[in-house]
Structures are given as C-alpha cells and as structure tokens.
Amino acid sequence: MADSPSVEGRIRAEFETALKEYTAYDRTLDALAAFSFIVENIEEISAETELVDFRPKLEPIDLDLDPYTPDGLIIQRTPADHVLELKTSWNDKDVAQVIKYGKSQRIISIDGTRRPFSNVRSVLLGYQNVPGEGNLAKLFNAWDVQRFGFPLVIFRYSLEQGPEGDRMFFIRVPYSRNGLCPASNLGKAVNSVRGFLVSVSSYKVNRPKFHKASDQVISSYAAVLWWTTYARYYLTEEQKIEMAEHGRLSSPLIIPLERIENVPTPAGVEVPLDPKDVRRALAFLRQARLVVLKKRARVYEVELKEDRHISVVHPSKTRQVVSV
C-alpha cells in the first residue's frame, strides 16, 4: 500500500469529509436514543409499555424472503403496537417500505417465534427534513389504497438549542391527511400540536447503545463508524500490544471475507452494525485506499497505523489509552 504524502493527504481529506457527511444520520441515532429514554424512563409511558425493541424483525410479505427491520417496535399494554422508522430526508423507496411495514402481519421474536400484531397499531415515520406536500401525498395515496384500518403518523425530529441546553424536538407534521397515534400517553405526546422535547442530558446515557445503520444510510457513515470503533475488535491480543506500543501494525490486518458475516459487537452497544453495513463500510474504505481487497485470497487487508480516530487499550495497562 502506497505511503506517499499525496495519498496520505487524500485519505485524510476523504475521511474528514466523511466525518462531516454522516452528522445528519448521527442525529437520527440521537432521536432513537431519545425515544429509548421516553419509553423507558418517563413513568406514565414506561408503565404502559410492555416491550421496546430497537432491533425488531417483521414477517415479510409476498415474495420477500428477508424479515423487515424497522428502527424500532414499541408494544404497549393498552394493547397497541407501534412500528418506528426514522429517516433523514425523503427517498422514493419510502412508499414501498412503509407499505410493507403496514402489510406485515407478525413480529418475529429473538427465538424465531412469530406473534401477530395487535388489532390496534400504527406506523410512526419520522423525518429530519419533512417531505414536500407532493411526496406526502404519494405516501398517503398508497397508504389509503391499502385500507389498513390503522394510522400512518408522520412527524419531524430535530436537534435544537435551548437556554437549558440542547434537546431533541419531536412534532407531528401538520398535514391534513396525517394520521393520529392511538390513544395512550405515548400517543398524546406524538399527537401534541406543540410537540415534545427530550434534553440531550437526559438521553446521552442511552446514545452509545446505538450504532445502527440503515438501507439508505450513506456508505461513509458505516465506514467512519467501522474504522473508529469496530476495527480494533478484529485485533489479536498480540496485535493490540503492538498497536499500543508502536502506533501501527508491522503487517496489514487480515480479515477473511467469510468473517464479515460475524460482526464484533462493541461493549455496551445494543444496536450494532450488521454484515451489510460492514460490507458497505469496507467498500468505502477501499475507495479511500485504507483497505485492499485481495480477491484471489478472499481477504481484506487493512493497514492500521497512527490515527487520532482510533484508540487501543494496552492489555497490561487498562487505564492507559494510546491514540493510534
């Protein structure tokens, strides 16, 4: 792998650009953390909540084989089931995706069992950048044709500054055809014309649990997250010592293609990257020349060296963090 200043400069420039580029999606994860805080820590809402899953699987329909994976599932004791999906901005695939969520008949549990949705349910669809009326009309035209009998509720979320600190703000979109969340304390919050706030200080403990990427997330998001957080989990103990002592590996880190399917989960992370995210990440890093794919050997070669974005803890000095 070339080590010239020109290549180093380009790698650094691309990486820094990517760090800025995924800030918008990072805000989406903030919103998920805020929802996590709401359903787990707001007494009136947590009391009516039976289950919260931020890695849910829904039974596929028609000829689809893979389960659907929305951003969240909230099951309430009322009873009512809410499928949660958050997006940064409009994508033409949103219509088909939301209709599939509406058509799905069962929830797939961790053990593989399938339970039907409650008769009372909703699909909660949040956007950072609210679609224009034309795209909202596309959504609700498709939704109304299906005659689901339960609502699609569109809301906006944004990270805003306030006199007492930053907070995540949620508000239902004032569109004439927008649905209303089923009656509950959670429903009251979502339906409020004033919206509701969750302070960053409240949900910051929940935030590190979320590393989830999505089908629409830009490749650079997964790449930066993999490089800064996940790469170190592929190292052997000897390689960790070498990185901590010398700031680089003497030879490239080798990752067999088959190992991509087994993604290491960082400590404390409940919603990690999945194999598809890692493949997307490595493809981006190949473009930045941080990773080389050896097709005949069926391995990735990753040259890990001094980089302020990665930290490795020396095994014999657990309190010493060396920036590499």
Residues 170 and 47 in one domain: yes
Answer whether 85's CB lies under 8 Å from 73's CB.
no
Host domain of residue 73:
25-209
Q: What is the pTM of this model?
A: 0.75
- φ, ψ for residue 211, nearest 5 deg: -120, 15
Residue 1 is predicted with a pLDDT of: 47
Shortest CA distance to 274 belongs to which of 295, 294, 255, 260?
A: 260
Report mean pLDDT in 10-residue bins for the chain, 324 residues: 55 64 76 94 95 94 92 94 94 95 95 93 96 97 97 96 89 97 95 95 90 62 81 87 83 89 86 87 81 91 66 39 26
Residues 46 and 195 in one domain: yes
Residues 249 and 175 in one domain: no
- φ, ψ for residue 261, nearest 5 deg: -70, -20
CATH number, domain containing residue 109: 3.40.1350
DSSP 321: E
Residues 256 and 152 in one domain: no
Residues 97 and 230 in one domain: no
Residues 82 and 184 in one domain: yes
Last residue of a domain, one of 185, 209, 233: 209
Burial class of residue 143, CB neighbours in 10 A (0-12, 13-18, 19+): buried
Q: How far is CA 125 from the centre of its chain?
A: 15
Residues 117 and 55 in one domain: yes
DSSP symbols for 256-291: EGGGGGS----TT-SB---HHHHHHHHHHHHHTTSE
- φ, ψ for residue 276, nearest 5 deg: -65, -40
Last residue of a domain, one of 165, 183, 209: 209
Spatial neighbors of 303 by CB under 8 A, at least 6 apart, are: 1, 248, 249, 252, 253, 290, 292
Residue 27 is predicted with a pLDDT of: 85
C-alpha span between 74 and 57 (Å, rounded): 12
**How many domains are there within the chain?**
2
C-alpha span between 97 and 177 (Å, rounded): 19
Residues 130 and 248 in one domain: no
Residues 193 and 274 in one domain: no
Spatial neighbors of 171 by CB under 8 A, at least 6 apart, are: 155, 156, 192, 193, 194, 195, 196
Joined tokens for residue 57 = 């699987």
Residues 203 and 248 in one domain: no
Last residue of a domain, one of 164, 190, 209: 209
Helix axes 133-146, 94-103, angle to 10 degrees: 30
Residues 131 and 280 in one domain: no
Answer whether 121's CB lies under 8 Å from 74's CB.
no
Residue 128 is predicted with a pLDDT of: 92
Residues 196 and 242 in one domain: no
Sheet of strand 291-294, all strands in order from the earlier edge strand to the far edge? 253-256, 299-302, 291-294
Answer whether 123's CB lies under 8 Å from 59's CB.
no
C-alpha span between 44 and 270 (Å, rounded): 24
Q: Are strands 152-160 and 121-127 parallel, antiparallel or unpaired?
A: parallel
Answer whether 310's CB lies under 8 Å from 237's CB.
no
* C-alpha dihedral, 186 to 190 to 195 to 196, nearest 10°: 30
Q: On the CB side of 17, how many CA atoms lie within 13 Å of its CA?
A: 11
C-alpha span between 99 and 208 (Å, rounded): 31
